[in-house]
């Protein structure tokens, strides 16, 4: 599913809004983040401090033999003979003293390496742990939202797309702190500071900075929308590729059945090429943009450096350098050249970094949009704030003037009125595509009706929580979906606690016990992907057993017997009829023998219940049902 | 294998169980990976040339800055004979001789602007470019996605841009070639393997394991080459500037290389194992997500949403944990590395400082030599790190090669049998599953083209096993099957399947448009042929009623069209393919009687040039067949038309019919 407004420009306020949205994911880790930052600062200070110390110790003390300051000596546990008394013509360190100093420095250095690199190395590990936790929270929230989204969303979205969003798009959240907070602050700070220093040297630099800023702005205006668009495309096409792979593999059997391997490879290759091209183009445009930015910023700096050098030759006086303490150069000389050149180089590097930042943020925001998109989908199935408790005993299920359509102007159900009482089996009959399965999926709230209400004991099912409702209504699906788990786990799927005996009982009612016992590991046998390794009839019976095990007051069987032979069908149906005495059962079926075991038959046609009653009632009516029975039995 | 069974549970791998890699297997994988370079030969050579040149320009920078300071700002005259510059720089200096300081500055500025444009001279090194593109996370999947389009250059400017683009393209080519190979094999896995191989795991292998191939190709060729070249150049520069340095230093550096290799090589096995489990855990996370989302309608209607979310959360947590293990290992290795480097630095420090204290070297020499040695020892450490890092790629690529090498049913055989004319002959065929269960016993059948044949029998009787023999999904344990005069056991799967189309009971459709779904079977079908196939399968009416007709997209949960409608699309696809044999598994299970009759009539209409084999339970469907095969406990107990079989008073078929009519 592509949301077309993903191509809108990235504004500062959007970045700000994502910062706010990411905060709840960072907040639980804030203590760890602070600890990590402290650790980083600690090792940073240690590195900088020790560099100054080592420079002095090596060059002045060890190599030239000067005596140490008392603090330095105590750091290395050296006695007073090493310490300088501050006198003018002090003695140098003796050779053996210098050896001692060196040995102590090496030992100290050993500790230093372990502490500093240790904190860097394990700090990195710590950081990975923190960001993984941030990402984990987002991933789980996305997936659990997806699990609860209505089937209407799922039927128009692709599995691979969700995989891509949960992996790739959600991972961008780990970069938010760096690219939306830390780096921008540093870059802006540096640019401001370096520009200020340069201005004090000469206002001409202001002109250069101004001209380059204008040019940079124009270049960015040209390139940023392209980069954004390429980033979006790259994400969408790679997500489409993931879907393609997933679908190809899920459809392996069909591919085989139609010898469509080459066609599938062609489609895959096509998608793969497009995805790679998009990834390439995004990187290419970023590179071109960065190259232009580089030529402008470093080029400007080289030109500025030319002026600095020529002014130094003539020792031209600086603009305000002499009066401002932190510049401190009244006229151009080598020192002034070095200082100004260093600032210029830093400024150019920061400008380049800024354009890098801008490019990255384009892609980052594309990722965030796609990740938060899942969280932003308004769930169609809304939960009541104070749901009613599902009744202990139920009397009836009723559909009142229910209308439903998957798409506008294409209604499936127009006006359904149906009531089923405790202890009855209601068969739903009708042409293919007449909406039988849809009708009963409303009872599970997989969808909500457009109009009308579905009631249990006279209470609108929207007043119950969906989890409460779904744990009281069980269904054996028409497409016998099984999972790649053991037989036992498949039967007990979705049930909190159950015993082995209950599982076996349910299997017996569904006539599945026999064939399960023939399997190599019986109930522990692992089923293949999507429950392969079983025949359709066997899968069907496992689905039925699963629905029975839930032991709910309401049971829906969608074409439960389509793949069973007549004998097994009879056994299953009579078991279910016995089992269902105190329940309400709905059966969708085409099979006459199954229909006959029902108490009530509802004939669904053009979105309405056209005929309703017992087999005898409907036969005397001589309507569609009688017609159907005639065509099923033929002349016999 | 006890280790393997534990893997089985933890990461639900059921095919790729033994993930251990011995040293020689590792070398073989490396060798095999390096062969891929042959596919991008030209790219690779150009890349090396570009990379070699990119090393040079940065070496100029310090000397140019020195000229600016000495000869421009301090205005010292240029004295070529006594210039303390590397020899290659002398001719360049000669050009500046005799110029005024401003002129020198102008010349240098012009030179720098030109080299900036071409090589990005004086820009920050463009190695950051390696991470260009997608911001990555802290897991193997996102890092692999980045590795798919990785590229880099030591230069910047136009040169760097070209090198970068070239490298990205080369990386993509390498990864995509492997990806295609893997995908090709995965689509040709045997039917029995398909049951065991998790889809999510395969997705992970194609998406995230394949992109790790280029890493092996670079980390063992270009990268060490550049590292060594950079080191040699630096030694040369130092030597030409400062003369001979302490020869012990060079020996020390060489010793360090061996020390680091000695420590890291034994650890590479551990590194591979950690990366294997990291990837297995990632694949298992993908399985969880794929399974629950693909089957979302079942998950929701069975009330499994919370449980699935929890299952995903656990799997994802585990995969992050496994990834951290690899990170921890990397951390420890680099720690060991630092300690080795520090140790050798300490020795170098003693040697050099001694020389200074004994007045053999100056303080300035100390500074030059110690920084040079630091560079040397870091390079030595770098070699060790390459060796460890490349294990990550090897672990991933092993997972790809595993399936490329796995038994697949595809064996290309140039012989073609041509469209068969007469029919299928089955003689004395037995079939038992690998676990010993007997499915078919002594099957003898003649199935002529031009007939609609129904296979009937109780569930579990062996109907599907029998039908699976024809397209070669299963091969007989004994006995023979002929298509016309061609014996199937002599023929390639591809050849056989040219003749047979199987329409599964589970109507598997792609989330594509209806038209794309149909065209899968025959990419070049005309719209007339498509219309015809839809008409025969009774799909035309409901398709016409869909908002976008045949171009309507089908969702994955596909709930917008009913099961019966999906079934008819599958049948239309089977008919469109136009093979002489079409097998329909329960084609009418979800159809109402009216549609069912129409469908059967339609099939009969096109049956004169085809053999339709229908597996069915429904009496009305069975009755419409020309011939009925009744199968029970793997044996054929009745063959004949409906009327013939009904006339046998004690026939099993008759009992079966009577049961349904009760």
B191-242 confidence digits (pLDDT tens): 777 777 888 899 999 999 999 999 999 888 888 888 888 888 877 777 766 6
Among the ranges A105-114, A210-219, B114-123, B364-373, which has the highest mean pLDDT value? A210-219
pLDDT at A636: 40
Asked whether residue A532 carries a pLDDT value surpassing 70, the answer given is: no
pLDDT at B160: 87
Cβ-based neighbour number of residue A392 at 10 Å: 6
Whether A290 contacts B504, CB under 8 Å = no
Mean pLDDT of B132-141: 75
Instruction: Let me know the angle formed at the C-alpha of A391 by A389 and A395, rounded to the nearest 5 degrees.
Output: 155
Mean pLDDT of B604-618: 85
Residue of A nearest to B435 (CA): A520
Whether B504 contacts B566, CB under 8 Å = no
pLDDT at A3: 47
- Whether A268 sits inside 8 A of B183 (CB atoms) is yes
Cβ-based neighbour number of residue A217 at 10 Å: 10
Domain identity same for A138 and A85: yes
Computed over its alpha carbons, how large is the radius of gyration of chain B?
36
Mean pLDDT of A522-548: 79
Mean pLDDT of A376-400: 83
Determine the structural domain holding residue B326 and report its residue range: 16-55+124-405
- Whether A247 sits inside 8 A of B511 (CB atoms) is yes
At B245, the pLDDT band (50, 70, 90 cuts) reads low
Pair of tokens at residue B283: 């694949």
pLDDT tens figures, A56-96: 888 778 887 788 888 888 888 888 888 877 766 777 778 88
Q: Edge-to-edge strand order for the sheet containing A424-430?
A: A459-460, A451-456, A396-407, A410-421, A608-613, A600-605, A424-430, A584-588, A554-558, A473-476
Domain identity same for A277 and A356: yes
Domain identity same for A545 and A489: yes
Domain identity same for A342 and A446: no
Domain identity same for A95 and A115: yes
CA distances to A78, B15, B28, B394 from B25, rounded to whole Å, are: 56, 19, 5, 10
Asked whether residue B507 carries a pLDDT value surpassing 70, the answer given is: no
Domain identity same for B368 and B433: no
CATH number at residue A397: 3.40.50.300
At A573, the pLDDT band (50, 70, 90 cuts) reads confident
Q: Hey, is B483 helix, strand or coil?
A: strand
The structural domain count of chain B equals 2
Alpha helices in B537-610, H assignment, sequence order: 540-545, 563-577, 593-606
- Pairing assessment for the beta strands B452-456 and B611-615 based on DSSP bridges: parallel
Whether A135 contacts B137, CB under 8 Å = yes
> pLDDT exceeding 70 applies to what percent of chain A?
96
Mean pLDDT of A604-614: 82
- More confident site: B19 or B449: B449
CA distances to A181, A186, B125 from A293, rounded to whole Å, are: 22, 18, 15
- Pairing assessment for the beta strands A410-421 and A424-430 based on DSSP bridges: unpaired
Domain identity same for A160 and A47: no
In a domain, A594, yes or no: yes
Domain identity same for B264 and B356: yes
Cβ-based neighbour number of residue B317 at 10 Å: 17
- Of A1-5, A629-633, B114-118, which gets the smallest average pLDDT? A1-5
The structural domain count of chain A equals 4
CATH number at residue A360: 1.20.1560.10
In a domain, B96, yes or no: no
Domain identity same for B470 and B523: yes
- How far apart CA B61 and CA B374 sit, in angstroms, is 20
Mean pLDDT of A500-526: 82
Q: Edge-to-edge strand order for the sheet containing B486-487?
A: B438-448, B423-432, B478-483, B486-487
- Per DSSP, B130 falls in state G
Domain identity same for A121 and A33: yes
Q: Does A379 touch chain B (CB under 8 A)?
A: no
At B41, the pLDDT band (50, 70, 90 cuts) reads very high
pLDDT at B134: 61
Query: Burial level of A112, CB count in 10 A (0-12/13-18/19+)?
Result: middle
CATH number at residue B462: 3.40.50.300
Domain identity same for B314 and B388: yes
Pair of tokens at residue A466: 């969906």
- Pairing assessment for the beta strands A584-588 and A554-558 based on DSSP bridges: parallel
- Whether A433 sits inside 8 A of B561 (CB atoms) is yes
Which residue is it, tokens 């506008």? A408
Size of interface A-B (CB pairs under 8 A): 511
pLDDT at B130: 45
Domain identity same for A242 and A170: yes
Cβ-based neighbour number of residue A427 at 10 Å: 23
Domain identity same for A124 and A136: yes
- Per DSSP, A388 falls in state B
Report A:493-512 residues touching B (Cβ under 8 A). Answer: 493-494
pLDDT tens figures, A117-153: 888 888 889 999 999 999 999 999 999 888 888 777 8
Pair of tokens at residue B478: 């004994």
- Whether A159 sits inside 8 A of B556 (CB atoms) is yes
pLDDT at A72: 82
Report A:49-88 residues touching B (Cβ under 8 A). Answer: 58-59, 62-65
Mean pLDDT of B482-494: 82
Mean pLDDT of A231-255: 87
Domain identity same for A323 and A199: yes
- How far apart CA B127 and CA B449 sit, in angstroms, is 67
Pair of tokens at residue B561: 């069209």
Asked whether residue B311 carries a pLDDT value surpassing 70, the answer given is: yes
Interface test with A, best of B153, B176, B300, B330 (most A CBs within 10 A): B300
> pLDDT exceeding 90 applies to what percent of chain A?
19
With a CB cutoff of 8 Å and minimum separation 6, the contacts of A431 are A605, B592, B594, B595
Interface test with B, best of A65, A298, A375, A593 (most B CBs within 10 A): A298
CATH number at residue B258: 1.20.1560.10
- How far apart CA B124 and CA B115 sit, in angstroms, is 14
In a domain, A571, yes or no: no
At B129, the pLDDT band (50, 70, 90 cuts) reads very low
Domain identity same for A484 and A426: no
CB contacts of A59 in chain B (<8 Å) are 363, 366-367
- Whether B510 sits inside 8 A of A148 (CB atoms) is no
pLDDT at A236: 92
- Whether A174 sits inside 8 A of B138 (CB atoms) is yes
Q: How far is B24 from chain A (nearest CA, A)?
A: 32
pLDDT at B10: 65
Determine the structural domain holding residue A546 and report its residue range: 479-551
In a domain, A574, yes or no: no
Q: Does A158 touch chain B (CB under 8 A)?
A: yes
Mean pLDDT of A365-385: 86
| Host H or E run for residue A44 | helix A30-55
Asked whether residue A2 carries a pLDDT value surpassing 50, the answer given is: no
Mean pLDDT (chain A, rounded) = 84
In a domain, A109, yes or no: yes
- Of A496-500, A630-634, B477-481, which gets the smallest average pLDDT? A630-634
Whether A303 contacts B109, CB under 8 Å = yes
In a domain, A573, yes or no: no
Pair of tokens at residue A307: 């002026």
Whether A403 contacts A451, CB under 8 Å = yes
Mean pLDDT of B166-176: 93
> pLDDT exceeding 90 applies to what percent of chain B?
15
- Of A279-293, A414-428, B502-516, which gets the smallest average pLDDT? B502-516
pLDDT tens figures, B543-552: 888 778 888 8
Residue in B650, B507, B509 with CA at minimum distance from that of residue B585: B507
CB contacts of A268 in chain B (<8 Å) are 180, 183
User: What's the residue count for chain A?
Assistant: 636
pLDDT tens figures, A469-488: 888 888 887 777 777 778 88
Report A:301-330 residues touching B (Cβ under 8 A). Answer: 301-303, 305-306, 309-310, 312-313
In a domain, A169, yes or no: yes
In a domain, A361, yes or no: yes
At A269, the pLDDT band (50, 70, 90 cuts) reads very high
Interface test with B, best of A566, A592, A626 (most B CBs within 10 A): A566
- More confident site: B435 or B617: B617
- More confident site: A523 or B506: A523
């Amino acid at each position: 599913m592509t949301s077309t407004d993903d191509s809108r420009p990235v504004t500062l306020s959007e970045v700000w809004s994502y910062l706010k949205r990411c905060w709840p994911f960072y907040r639980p880790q804030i203590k760890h983040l602070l600890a990590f930052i402290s650790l980083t600062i600690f090792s940073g200070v240690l590195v900088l401090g020790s560099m100054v110390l080592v420079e002095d110790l090596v060059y002045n003390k060890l190599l030239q033999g000067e005596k140490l300051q008392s603090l330095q000596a105590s750091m290395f546990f050296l006695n007073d003979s090493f310490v300088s008394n501050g006198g003018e013509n002090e003695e140098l360190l003796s050779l053996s003293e210098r050896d001692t100093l060196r040995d102590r420095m090496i030992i100290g250095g050993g500790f230093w390496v372990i502490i500093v690199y240790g904190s860097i190395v394990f700090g990195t590990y710590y950081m990975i742990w923190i960001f993984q936790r941030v990402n984990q929270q987002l991933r789980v929230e996305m997936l659990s939202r997806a699990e609860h989204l209505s089937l209407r969303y799922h039927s128009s979205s692709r599995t691979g797309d969700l995989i891509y969003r949960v992996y790739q798009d959600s991972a961008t959240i780990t970069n938010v702190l760096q690219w939306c907070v830390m780096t921008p602050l540093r870059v802006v700070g540096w640019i401001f500071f370096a520009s200020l220093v340069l201005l004090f040297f000469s206002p001409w630099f202001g002109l250069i900075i101004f001209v380059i800023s204008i040019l940079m702005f124009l270049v960015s205006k040209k390139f940023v929308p392209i980069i954004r668009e390429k980033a979006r495309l790259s994400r969408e096409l790679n997500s489409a590729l993931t879907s393609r792979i997933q679908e190809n593999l899920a459809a392996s059997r069909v591919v085989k059945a139609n010898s469509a391997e080459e066609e599938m490879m062609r489609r895959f290759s096509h998608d793969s090429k497009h995805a790679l091209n998009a990834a390439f183009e995004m990187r290419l445009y970023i590179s071109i943009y960065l190259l232009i930015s580089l030529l402008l910023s470093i080029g400007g700096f080289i030109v500025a450096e030319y002026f600095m050098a020529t002014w130094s030759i003539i020792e031209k006086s600086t603009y305000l350098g002499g009066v401002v303490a932190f510049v401190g150069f009244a006229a151009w000389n080598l020192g002034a050249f070095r200082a100004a050149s260093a600032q210029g180089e830093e400024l150019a590097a920061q400008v380049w970094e800024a354009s890098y930042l801008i490019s990255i943020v384009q892609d980052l925001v594309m990722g965030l949009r796609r990740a938060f998109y899942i969280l932003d989908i308004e769930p169609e199935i809304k939960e009541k704030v104070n749901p009613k408790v599902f009744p202990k005993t139920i009397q009836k299920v009723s559909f009142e003037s229910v209308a439903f359509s998957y798409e506008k102007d294409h209604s499936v159900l127009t006006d359904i009125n149906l009531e089923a009482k405790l202890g009855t089996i209601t068969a739903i009959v009708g042409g293919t595509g007449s909406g039988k399965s849809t009708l009963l999926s409303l009872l599970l709230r997989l969808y909500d009706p457009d109009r009308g209400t579905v009631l249990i004991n006279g209470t609108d099912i929207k007043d119950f929580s969906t989890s409460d409702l779904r744990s009281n209504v069980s269904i054996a699906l028409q497409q016998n979906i099984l999972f790649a788990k053991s037989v036992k786990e498949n039967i007990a799927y979705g049930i909190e606690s159950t015993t082995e005996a209950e599982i076996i009982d349910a299997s017996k009612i569904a006539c599945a016990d026999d064939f399960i016992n023939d399997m190599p590991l019986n109930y522990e046998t692992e089923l293949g992907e999507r429950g392969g390794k079983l025949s359709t009839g066997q899968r069907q019976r496992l689905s039925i057993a699963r629905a029975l095990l839930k032991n709910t007051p309401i049971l829906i069987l969608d074409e439960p017997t389509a793949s069973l032979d007549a004998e097994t069908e009879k056994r299953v149906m009579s078991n279910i009829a016995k089992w269902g005495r105190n329940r309400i059962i709905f059966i969708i079926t085409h099979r006459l023998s199954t229909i006959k075991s029902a108490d009530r038959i509802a004939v669904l046609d053009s979105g309405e219940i056209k005929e309703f009653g017992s087999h005898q009632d409907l036969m005397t009516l001589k309507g569609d049902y009688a017609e159907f029975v005639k065509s099923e039995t033929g002349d016999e | 294998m006890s280790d393997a069974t534990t893997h089985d549970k933890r990461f639900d791998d059921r095919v790729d169980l033994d993930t251990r890699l011995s040293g020689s297997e590792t070398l073989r994988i490396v060798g095999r990976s390096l062969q891929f370079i042959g596919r991008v030969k030209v790219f690779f050579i150009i890349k090396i040339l570009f990379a070699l040149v990119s090393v040079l320009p940065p070496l100029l920078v310090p000397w140019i800055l020195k000229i600016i300071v000495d000869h421009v700002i301090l205005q010292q005259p240029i004295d070529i004979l006594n210039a303390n510059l590397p020899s290659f720089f002398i001719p360049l200096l000669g050009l500046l001789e005799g110029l005024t300081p401003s002129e020198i500055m102008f010349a240098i500025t012009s030179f720098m602007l030109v080299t900036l444009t071409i090589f990005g001279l004086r820009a920050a090194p463009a190695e950051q470019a390696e991470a260009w593109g997608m911001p990555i996370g802290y897991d193997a999947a996102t890092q692999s996605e980045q590795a798919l389009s990785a590229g880099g250059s030591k230069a910047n400017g136009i040169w760097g841009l070209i090198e970068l683009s070239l490298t990205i393209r080369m990386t993509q080519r390498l990864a995509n070639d492997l990806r295609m190979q893997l995908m090709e094999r995965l689509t040709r896995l045997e039917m029995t393997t398909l049951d065991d191989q998790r889809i999510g795991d395969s997705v992970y292998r194609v998406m995230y394991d394949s992109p790790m191939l280029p890493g092996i190709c670079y980390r063992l060729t270009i990268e060490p080459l550049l590292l060594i070249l950079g080191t040699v150049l630096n030694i040369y520069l130092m030597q030409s500037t400062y003369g001979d340095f302490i020869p012990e230093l060079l020996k020390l550096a060489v010793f360090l290389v061996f020390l680091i290799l000695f420590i890291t090589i034994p650890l590479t096995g551990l590194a591979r194992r950690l990366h294997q489990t990291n990837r297995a855990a990632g694949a298992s996370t993908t399985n969880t997500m794929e399974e629950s989302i693909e089957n979302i309608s079942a998950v929701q209607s069975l009330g499994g949403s919370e449980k699935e979310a929890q299952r995903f959360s656990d799997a994802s947590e585990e995969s992050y944990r496994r990834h951290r293990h690899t990170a921890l290992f990397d951390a420890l290795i680099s720690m060991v590395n630092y300690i080795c480097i520090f140790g050798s630095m300490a020795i170098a420090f003693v040697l050099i400082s001694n020389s200074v204290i004994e007045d053999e070297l100056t303080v300035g020499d100390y500074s030059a030599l110690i920084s040079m040695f630091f560079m040397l020892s870091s390079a030595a450490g770098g070699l060790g790190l390459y060796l460890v890092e490349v294990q990550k790629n090897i672990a991933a690529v092993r997972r790809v090669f595993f399936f490329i090498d796995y038994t697949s049913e595809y064996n290309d055989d140039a012989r073609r049998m041509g469209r068969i004319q007469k029919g299928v002959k089955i003689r004395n065929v037995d079939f038992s599953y690998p676990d010993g269960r007997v499915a078919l016993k002594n099957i003898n059948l003649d199935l002529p083209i031009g007939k609609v044949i129904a296979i009937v029998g109780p569930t579990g009787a062996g109907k599907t096993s029998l039908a699976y023999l024809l397209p070669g999904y299963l091969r007989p344990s004994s006995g023979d099957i002929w298509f016309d005069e061609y014996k199937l056991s002599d023929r390639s799967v591809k050849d056989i399947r040219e003749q047979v189309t199987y329409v599964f009971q589970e109507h598997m459709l792609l989330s594509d448009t209806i038209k794309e779904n149909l065209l899968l079977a025959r990419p070049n079908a005309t719209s007339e042929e498509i219309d015809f196939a839809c008409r025969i399968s009774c799909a035309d009416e409901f398709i016409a009623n869909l908002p976008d007709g045949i171009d309507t997209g089908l969702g994955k949960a596909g709930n917008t069209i009913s099961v019966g409608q999906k079934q008819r699309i599958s049948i239309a696809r089977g008919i469109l393919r136009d093979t002489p044999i079409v097998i329909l598994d329960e084609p009418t299970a979800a159809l109402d009687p009216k549609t069912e009759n129409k469908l059967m009539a339609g099939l009969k209409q096109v049956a004169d040039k085809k053999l339709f084999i229908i597996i069915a339970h429904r009496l009305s469907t069975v009755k419409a067949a020309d011939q009925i095969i009744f199968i029970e406990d793997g044996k054929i107990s009745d063959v004949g038309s409906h009327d013939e079989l009904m006339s046998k008073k004690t026939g099993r078929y008759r009992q079966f019919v009577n049961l349904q009519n009760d």
